[in-house]
Amino acid sequence: MAEAAISLNGRMYRLSCGEGEDVRLRELSEIVRAKLEGVVSEYGQVGDDRLLLLSALLIADDMLEARSRVEALETLLATVQKRNSAED
């Protein structure tokens, strides 16, 4: 079992993960750190729990927006494929 040390808002978190997953965990933590720093700059130090909650909600909002865009692109792709099949 591997371990990754993640620092967010001045606090260190040690997380266990599978072998080789520590690099991915650090990449993910960079996304959280960037969002967290944005929240801190906007709202200040309003408590770790609240900052992490706001960061998580903003990341979830980003994810839902990305999911909607992917679904729209998949619909567009299916339409184009149908049109191309009809032309053949």
Q: How many domains, in total, are found in the chain?
A: 1
Closest of 8, 22, 18 to residue 53, by C-alpha:
8
Exposed, middle or buried: residue 70 (CB in 10 Å: 0-12, 13-18, 19+)? Answer: exposed
- 51 in Cβ contact with 32 (< 8 Å): no
Instruction: pLDDT tens for the chain, 88 residues: list them.
Output: 888 999 999 999 999 999 999 999 999 999 999 999 999 999 999 998 999 999 999 999 999 999 999 999 999 999 999 999 988 7
Q: Which helix (H) or strand (E) holds 57?
A: helix 48-87
**What distance, in Å, lies between the first and last C-alpha atoms of the chain?**
54
The residue range of the domain holding 68 is 2-87
